[in-house]
Amino acid sequence: MAKLKMMAPVIRTMDTRTVKVAPKTAEPFYLSPEWRKLMAEIIAERGRRCEDPQCDGNTHRPGMRVFGDHVIELRDGGAPLDKRNIMLRCGASHTKKTLAERAKRMAARP
């Protein structure tokens, strides 16, 4: 009887488990003493609460972390240290707004 020999696979697969994603790092501006001082002033004046009118409040807890979010983003010409250009957002609202802005930019690319 003849023996059958197996052929080696022709198509190789890529092991995606080894793909490393770089850790997210804050822009240096958001680590500056000026930004930190401004955030402390805004939180003292407005309280530690989400100001996003579309926020449902499901993620809110006493003493929660809030993010100072530029209403007009810096890359779009927003004033970096103008209190009127800063809205306090909870993590969920900040993520939603950031992703929406990113999607708009991606759609606008040629």
Name residue 38's amino acid: L
> Is the CB of residue 67 less than 8 Å from the CB of residue 89?
yes
Q: How far is CA 14 from CA 6, 10, 55, in A?
A: 22, 13, 41
Return the SS3 of 59: coil
15-24, 32-41, 52-61, 87-96: the lowest-pLDDT one:
15-24
At 47-95, the pLDDT tens digits run 999 999 999 888 888 889 999 999 998 988 999 999 999 999 999 999 9
What average pLDDT score do residues 5-34 get?
A: 77
Cα–Cα nearest to 49, from 25, 65, 73, 30:
65
Verdict on whether the full-model pTM lies above 0.85: no
